[in-house]
Amino acid sequence: MKRDWGLIRDLLEHLESLGFGQHWEARELPGHCREAVAYHLQLLNQAQLLCGSVQHSWTGQEQWVVPHLPLA
């Protein structure tokens, strides 16, 4: 999958806007499918630009949960 720098920017801006103690369960974003969002969250996690993990719902569906951004 090709990297979408606009999606990466949108994800980081959204995560930065969350208040203390809030977390975000990643789903589809306008104009982007769930798979693209998950792929780009994985890239950001590998680059240590966010602190997130994959969790499974009761139906077995994978969801990214991002509690916060790191300092660096």
Q: 64: which 2 tokens? A: 């990214």
Query: Per-residue pLDDT tens for 22-69?
Result: 777 777 778 888 889 889 989 998 998 888 888 887 887 777 777 777
> pTM for the complete prediction?
0.79
Number of domains the chain is built from: 1
SS3 49: coil
In single-letter form, the type of residue at position 55 comes to Q
| Domain around 57 | 5-68
